[in-house]
Amino acid sequence: MERLPKIGLPIIIGLVILVIAISKSAVTIGSGEAGVLYKTFGGGVVTDEPPLGEGFHIVAPWNKVHVYEVRRQEIFEKMKVLSSNGLDIQLDASAWYKPDVKDLGKLHQEIGDDYLQRIILPTIRSAARSVVGRYTPEQLYSSKRDAIQKEIFEETKKIVDDQYIVLDEILVRDVTLPPTIKQAIERKLKQEQESLEYEFRLVTAQKEAERQRIEAQGKADANKILSASLTDKILQDKGIEATVKLSESSNSKVIVIGSGDSGMPIILGNQ
């Protein structure tokens, strides 16, 4: 009975050590994450094997696991850049990105878990300065926002694709010009709109006047042709035809032949 505590103490110590070892060896990878294994005595970062996936893993207690979020993430950035004529422009943009899971080990070994600060943001800033510098404030304010967004994305993607990073999209959310420049552009755009509206009304009025002229000319030409075709002989024949039709009517009448100024009959009714 006296020897039991002496025997039980090493067992208890061994169990404690075992629990500590297991706790140091157990790694849980959460949802949307992946782990990069670092072997202290086995060559460092493991780059030739897939990263550890979601769930529970047991690793040697002397090794380490670096956990990365592999879901798509978003970063917002405000930048001051210069237009083609040297004016300060504030650009509000955001980027959708994530690490390339299949090369997660290389990303950790060559860049590290702060790849956002080391690679993505500097590249976006450099691309934004390069792209915006090609355009005037008027272009940035009106028609070129989609173009600069596309160009910034393409220039950034060329670089980060070689850095084990997946760039899904860059969105230009706002372009802020100096107040005086913005007001001048708005006045210019308003004047251009008013000028276009005036030109539209003028063209519409000219087309309407041309339509009326063509219509009037057509009527005049028709009357001219009709007048030229109505000779005295034709008029007299038409009068005779009308007289014949009237004479056949059941209404009572008196027809005096040849008493008109032009030799046409005079028709006297009973009223």
- Measured distance CA(68)–CA(115) in Å, rounded: 11
CB 57 within 8 A of CB 65: yes
Residue type, 185: I
* Higher pLDDT pick, 267 / 57: 57
Q: How confident is the model at residue 4, as a pLDDT?
A: 47
Q: What local confidence, expressed as pLDDT, does residue 126 receive?
A: 94
Per DSSP bridges, beta strands 165-176 and 88-99 are antiparallel
- How many whole angstroms separate alpha carbon 141 and alpha carbon 219? 54
Q: Which has the closest alpha carbon to 169: 181, 178, 160? A: 160
Q: Whole-model pTM?
A: 0.61
Distance CA 81, CA 133 (A): 8
| pLDDT on residue 229 | 64
Kindly indicate the confidence band of residue 16, based on its pLDDT and cuts at 50, 70 and 90: low
The secondary structure of the chain as a DSSP string is --HHHHHHHHHHHHHHHHHHHHHHHEEEE-TTEEEEEEETTTTEE--SSPPB-SEEEE--TTSEEEEEE-S-EEEEEEEEEE-TTS-EEEEEEEEEEEE-GGGHHHHHHHT-TTHIIIIIHHHHHHHHHHHHTTS-HHHHHTT-HHHHHHHHHHHHHHHHGGGTEEEEEEEEEEEE--HHHHHHHHHHHHHHHHHHHHHHHHHHHHHHHHHHHHHHHHHHHHHHHHHHH--HHHHHHHHHHHHHHHHTSSS-EEEETT-STTS--EEEE--
Distances (CA, A) of 58 to 19, 26, 145: 13, 5, 51
Separation CA 197–CA 184 (nearest Å):
20
Residue 50 burial by CB count (10 A; 0-12/13-18/19+): exposed, middle or buried? exposed
The CATH superfamily holding the domain 73-177 is: Band 7 domain (3.30.479.30)
pLDDT higher than threshold 80 for residue 186: no
| Amino acid code (one letter) for 147 | A
CB 244 within 8 Å of CB 264:
no
Q: What is the mean pLDDT of residues 179-206?
A: 70
Residue 271 pLDDT: 47
pLDDT per residue as tens digits for the range 98-150: 999 999 999 999 999 999 999 999 999 999 999 988 888 878 776 677 888 99
Report the candidate in 29, 24, 36 with the shortest Cα–Cα distance to residue 57.
Answer: 29
